[in-house]
Amino acid sequence: MAPHSASSGAERGRVTDSGIEIRPVYGPEDLEGWDPARQLGVPGSYPFTRGIRPDMYRGRLWTMRQYAGFGTAEATNERFKFLLGAGQTGLSCAFDLPTQMGYDSDHPRSEGEVGKVGVAIDSLADMRLLLAGLPLDEVTTSMTINATAAILLLFYQLVAEENGVDPGRLGGTIQNDILKEYVARGTYIYPPRPSMRLVTDTFSYCAEHLPAWNTISISGYHIREAGSTAVQEIAFTIANGIAYVEAALAAGLDVDAFAPRLSFFWNAHNNLFEEVAKYRAARRMWARIMTERFRAKDEKSTLMRFHTQTGGSTLTAQQPENNIARVTIQALAAALGGTQSLHTNGFDEALGLPTQRAAKIALRTQQIVGYESGIADTVDPLAGSWFVESLTDDVEKGAWGYLERIDALGGAVDAIEAQYMQQEIDQAAYAYAKAIDAGEKVVVGVNRFVDDESDPTEVFPIDAELQRSQVARVERVKAERDQSAVGAALADVEAAARGTQNLLVPMKVALARMATLGEVSDVLRGVFGEYHPNG
């Protein structure tokens, strides 16, 4: 590829969020030596730069999967039904922090957090209420859950079976991406290596029992929310993906037995063209890694299927209605980049959980982009743009550089334990915050075009009685069950954790006997220990 043409002094300094210099004009010389057959290809064929399906959205639009979850299982079930009634085409569930961290609602550490940032799920009784009346054999469900992902998946399977749904027909995704928790988010329980066992046991279990389920959503979203650049987002996420594949292979799984069910989860920020380039570069990189590094034979193993969510960290509490415009730009980037499903954030999410009005506007934003903008009429509409193709190459080159450094450290797990990714993200986040403080990065309504007055915005209400009612429910479950049967099942979980049996098999038995999420997590804590990054 030819060197970038020089820009004049007056034009110098325009860069993407990843620091890639943007030239004032692009032309054929910027792609000199560029091989369309290798870099570009055609839609639906290797290396999938232009998308994983030949017809993309001409066949059908992306799945409109709005994220929802708060309070009780009943309240979240009502929001699910509201969104489905408004035209949503897939479900996506958020869980509260105690559920994510493996604590029941009656645990002292759950105090003040029950139902706050997602729905509280303590037992099979809660999952029955969460999924009541939903067509589980028709709708796919994504669950944003990691350390306790196997437990929530088993709850979901148990409810489906109780309702006569064949597990082989269940479609959906568990995030199950524990490595990014150590990098960026913090909702881990166990040390990295036993956590990886839970991930690979889930791969194996689903291959046998839930063949249509996506066993992991390898997530760059939270890496970006923690402050990474776009280049770091795909580099660190793909590094984690490589680690999951290697762990599964080490556990004796065949790459083509599990790789077709791997999926990814990306962020969408405001720099429209860099975001489009990011998705195209990431798809191309993954195809090459799976083909050249892991020798996958099944084409489905090489496809990077991904969900996208608009950038929560880009939303502002100041002039919150401006966030509707931000979310629209980000939704455009995701669609132009070829996402398979999309969540658009509510404009009020910098203030609290999205109100019903904000959630509906967010869904309508997707529908307007999909049905009114025309971008779904042709596949990869930005392909061949000198700017976009050059930027795609630049993003990919930067990401490969990070992957080489991570490989030199021994791979993602070693890099995480050495705090490499965490430090890189911290530095990027600091530089971004400095640019905003200095006014070099404009945020409308925050550091420019600031209003002295703003209209009041409705804020999602918090139910003060929620925790007490949820605690009463979990206590009732524990009081009414067969305690000896639960104790025996939990003993089997402990034996499996100390041995080599697939953990999900005895876990399912325990959960069916009404063992709680916290009890199963505590058994694993007793065997695996808890992770403390600083000692």
Is the same domain home to 474 and 361?
no
Range of the domain at 484: 466-528
Domain presence at residue 118: no
Q: φ, ψ for residue 101 (rounded to 5)? A: -100, 5
Q: Spell out the residues 6+ positions from residue 124 whose beta carbon is closer than 8 angstroms to its own.
A: 155, 158, 159, 511, 512, 514
Is the same domain home to 419 and 471?
no
pLDDT in tens, 483-518: 999 999 999 999 999 999 999 999 999 999 999 999
pLDDT in tens, 440-480: 999 999 999 998 766 667 776 667 688 899 999 999 999 99
Domain presence at residue 235: yes
Q: Angle, nearest 10°, between helix axes 386-408 and 230-250?
A: 50
Question: What is the rounded average pLDDT of the residues 195-207?
Answer: 95
CATH number at residue 57: 3.20.20.240
Helix segments in 251-321, DSSP class H: 255-258, 272-288
Domain presence at residue 211: yes
Q: φ, ψ for residue 97 (rounded to 5)? A: -60, -40
Q: Report the C-alpha gap between 195 and 506 in whole angstroms.
A: 17
Domain presence at residue 18: no
Is the same domain home to 210 and 333?
yes
Is the same domain home to 349 and 487?
no
Whether residue 223 contacts residue 233, with contact meaning beta carbons closer than 8 Å, is answered with: yes
Q: How many other β-carbons are positioned within 10 Å of the β-carbon of residue 303?
A: 23
What share of the chain in percent tops pLDDT 70? 96
Give the residue among 304, 164, 162 at the shortest CA–CA distance from 238.
304
Domain presence at residue 484: yes
**Mean pLDDT (the chain, rounded):** 93
Is the same domain home to 206 and 312?
yes
Is the same domain home to 363 and 501?
no
Q: State both tokens at 136.
A: 């589980």
Domain presence at residue 48: yes
pLDDT in tens, 115-174: 988 999 999 999 999 999 999 999 999 999 999 999 999 999 999 999 999 999 999 999
Is the same domain home to 286 and 392?
yes
pLDDT in tens, 330-370: 999 999 999 999 999 999 999 988 889 999 999 999 999 99
Domain presence at residue 162: no
pLDDT in tens, 293-342: 999 999 999 999 999 999 999 999 999 999 999 999 999 999 999 999 99
pLDDT of 369: 98
Query: What is the tally of structural domains in the chain?
Result: 2
pLDDT class of 31 with cuts at 50, 70, 90? confident
Is the same domain home to 287 and 376?
yes
Is the same domain home to 351 and 234?
yes
Is the same domain home to 195 and 282?
yes
Domain presence at residue 102: no
Is the same domain home to 249 and 352?
yes
Is the same domain home to 191 and 274?
yes
